[in-house]
Amino acid sequence: MIDSERGDRKEMVFNGIPASPGIAFGEAFVVNVEDLPVSEERVGEAEIDMEVERFRVALRETKSELDKLHRTLEEEMGEEHAKILDSHRLILDDEAMVEETLSLIRSDCYNAARAVTQVLDRYLTTFEQIEDEYLKERAEDIRDVKRRVTRNLLGQKVEGLANLRKKAIVVAHNLTPSDTAGLKKKYVLAFVSDIGGSTSHAAIIARSQGIPAVVGLDGFARQAKPYDRLIVDGITGQVILHPTPETEALYRDAKERFLEMERELLTLKDYPAVTLDGRTIELSANIETDEEIDDAISHGAKGIGLFRTEYFFITRTTLPGEEEQYRYYRKVVKKLAPDPVIFRTLDVGGDKIARWAAADTAEANPFMGWRGIRFTLSRKDIFRTQLRAIFRASAHGRVRIMFPMISVIDEVRQAKAICDEVRDDLRRERYSLGDDVEIGIMIETPSAVALADKLAKEVDFFSIGTNDLVQYALAVDRGNSRISYLYDPLHPGILRMLRDTVKAAHRNGIWVGICGEMPASVRAALLVIGLGIDELSASPYHIPEIKKFIRSITYDETRALVRKALGKTTAGEIRELLDTFIREKRPELGEFIREWEKTEPDQG
């Protein structure tokens, strides 16, 4: 049956941006989150009863969907998570809403979709204008109910990620960090999206979880239908819709070759990350949840260089308390001990929207707005609670604390002062604490680079967040597929920023790491090693590759490369310098240059 159906469906190849390596085969799970267009045309008198009945049927179907989803959430995630849907049910049961909709159908001859949309839009406007934050947040519930009822009226199945219950390839127009944080890895074979770049947060999360991903497919989500057969090639960026058996066979061979290379790299996991001439580099993992600890360890990480604590916050509707956070952080610290864990304090804002703060963090320019340390310094109640939990966890292993999005020195001093207060309070309350909790900052804004010599006197370490630093330094939104070609970590300006930061750190006797994605590229890794970076932290799945890079070269060679690269004018010249070195001196590293890196345009 499948074969005959395939005969009616033409194989289609789409090219996007490879965001996470790997090859996956499976059926599409199409996520619908956009509002559907609703006809403005009125119905005739003879059709009114039919529209009334359509509305009532849609209400029943929506209630049934929510009840089913409620039961599933309760079984799998507990009663507290299932309660999220209680307010949706109340909206559907609201007699005033129902009566107003029926009145518009009967009196004004509105079609059912237009009537219910108009009523719920008016509710939305009212809730959005309320100053009470709790009530304001209910607007999102109304918006969700509107989408569900409208889709049922228009005969389109509602698919949200919470509905994913079997292995599939997730297809979406867009995936926010909140969406991807809630993904159940066991069900997700791969994901593809219309928008986004290779360094968008969704792409980073895919890589951190070892899920193949392709982004920037521009319109693919409209082409794919539920259960369509797909192949996702996260290495080349190709997505094949309705693949023929011949194409599937070719990709199965390619997948086997990819997995064989992965298996070979994993044989290095217990070897030290040391160059051929003896320089050892601390190699750590970036993770978002405690579920990734085993992946980090099994891929050879010696500690956690970036624990993104925000994902514990943005996947829920209420703020976690101190005790809950403490138990969570303690689990991570104990499992990694005696290796260190760097906890990045809450970094919401930008595209990382916490539901409990969604109304506050809606801004015209969120990536340059109220995010990172700016948010926590203005919400000291949240900041203190998190710091108390982290300091308490320090009694169980090696803990480091890191503040994100630092742009002025006063932010560091304020944050440190709060740390001191929290630590003093905990000691008075007779809690056991670790003795040597290091305090560091992320270097991810151009102003932090310019102030690095001053900032280094304030903290114990730097960790360079290259993803945001490149974005802010080059003025390129890394989630925007239209201009993602401008996002180039090999830009000479970026290289100089890294050099200045490392020099400032070492002159002041502190260590410096990189926790952005940059070292996952073999070309960039050669440069950051040569710059004298002390610690590299990356997705667990990239650690074996980076260890291979480190163990294949000498520190002296990379230092010489950096000296030459600093004399170049364009990213293209630097890329050619590195490629020549690989080709002539270390050809075995050539296989790690990925397809999209080979075709990357020279932006100078």
Any idea how long the chain is? Answer: 604
Q: Which of 88, 173, 491, 515 is catalytic?
A: 515
CB count within 10 Å of CB 211 equals: 24
Q: For residues 215 and 200, is the Cβ–Cβ distance under 8 A?
A: yes
Is the omega angle on the peptide bond into residue 489 within 30 degrees of 0, that is, cis? no
Q: Give me the amino acid identity at 137.
A: E
How many C-beta atoms lie closer than 10 Å to residue 180's C-beta? 27
What are the backbone angles phi and psi of residue 294, rounded to the nearest 5°? Answer: -60, -40
Q: Please say if 201 is a catalytic residue.
A: yes
H/E stretch holding 143 reads helix 133-153
Which tokens in the block code for residue 538?
């990356």
The residue behind tokens 């996956």 is 24
Per-residue buried b or exposed e for 349-360, using 16+ beta carbons within 10 Å of the residue's own CB? bbbbbbbbbbbb
Residue 292 φ/ψ, nearest 5 degrees? -95, 0
Q: Could you tell me the sign of the dihedral formed by the alpha carbons of 525, 528, 534, 535, in that order? A: negative
Token readout for 559 is 């230092």
Please tell me whether residue 199 adopts helix, strand or coil conformation. Answer: coil
- Point out which residues pair with 328 in neighbouring strands: none
| Strand 17-20 with 213-215, pairing | antiparallel
555 contacts 277 by C-beta, under 8 angstroms: yes
**Is 173 a catalytic site residue?**
no
Write the burial class of residue 202 (CB in 10 Å: 0-12 exposed, 13-18 middle, 19+ buried): buried
Q: Tell me the C-alpha distance between 158 and 174, whole Å.
A: 16
Active-site option among 70, 173, 201, 491: 201
Active site residues: 201, 515
